[in-house]
Structure 1
Amino acid sequence: MSDLAFSSFTLIGVDAQKFLQGQVTLNAEALPENVTRYTAICSLKGRIQFGLWLKKLNPESFEIVTTQDQAEEFSKHIKKFGAFSKMKLEQAAQVFPTLNGETTDFATAETDINAWQIQAIEAGQAWISATTAELFQPQELRLHQREGVHYDKGCYIGQEIIARLWFKAKPKAWLHLVLGGGDVPAPATQLSNSVQVVNSIALDDTYKALVVAKPDALAELSLTVLALPESLNGDVARPQ
């Protein structure tokens, strides 16, 4: 049985969209209705503090899912920063994931979370939990290739650092899918100085993991690098 679990929230009110626009890395105003996208709220240092599956029902009503171990801190964050906004955050129910093409949808009907983890890892759909909070920048997780970051949307927490990395530099390490042998390394584990686990799942005698790594450092470890889906296989740098 997986320890991973998910909590859903509703954010409702006339200021909901405006508030989210100043918090998350994607363009909440341009987000299509009834489509779930994975996005992030970052720290001032530009690292992902909370990972969110965000669905807009309309500009005054959003459904938000976090890992259960981030739910309490996420709720505190929204209530702190949104104290003067006309909106209300309410925790709904425990929900269960289903992979749906290039995203994940959630419902109250129970699904096999272990099966979802394997599918999500193979699809490059990295997610953040309490263990990995504030370790990775959005670009390192290829979040922009999942429509989870927009670089032309205006200010949000950590935006200055995230935009600078995009327009003036390139991450030294970024997301890869690997197959390894032996015990499965836990999220946040450093496999070397330049390889860190984001998500991992045990298979029979092996494991699969999403890692943020320098490509050269991967070659030094006894890991097989597997292909990510085409949409996540390109260079993470800004096209020149």
Structure 2
Amino acid sequence: MQLRLPTSIPEVQECLADGAVPIGGATLVWAAWQRDGFPELAVSLRELPEANTIGAEELGAAVVLHQIDDRVPEVLHRAAAGVGTGAVRRAATVGGNLVGSTLRCLLPAAVVLDARAVVLEPEGHFETDLSDVLAKHHLLVGLRWSAPIISGYRKLDAEAGGPPPFVVASALHADDGGNRLRVAVRDGYEVLSGTVACAEDSADVLDTLHRTDLGTLDPTAWETVRRHVTELLTRSVGG
């Protein structure tokens, strides 16, 4: 297998036009390649500057998970810190987790940040919705979002080898005329979300949130969401 390491967008486009298979940290594809055979040509974005950014409103797809720190919002930092083992976090990339993984541990955090995806095709690069990336498996270059006022993340404990642990992520955003709360959960392999305008009474916020897709959660999961949102709103007032 020949691995190309382009350093510019045009070079990546040339690799894609030549049929190169994108490879992230290879934590998810290596076993399959050993079983089914390696591609003749692969491409990695680890030398592409645009795919290695880390900031308050952007994160590159080639960034390794253990490199994600408090330069990004809390919800994204904590989501990355909770992925797998230290060895996995030192190899797995943002793009591989979001596009190549069935768990997509970073997805709830990206959803509540209302992140946009920067993707690349042989014809050019552009911004699109996360849902479009997941459906069409575009080559992800990075994520962009507007910094929230405050954010939070909680991952419940789970037995090894069992169903994926329940995750709840949240972010409070400034909006015209008030603030808006975004909440997303991973329940099994499904990600559900809801967005509501923030009222002064947290009970009103939760009541409205329960009328979104999050209202379909079982009582135990909803109680986790309720406690998490209450804590986040309390922190926002205290801050």
Structure having the higher helix fraction is: 2
Structure (1/2) with the larger strand percentage: 1
Q: Which has the higher contact order (CA 8 A, sep 6+)?
A: 1
TM-score by length of 1: 0.30
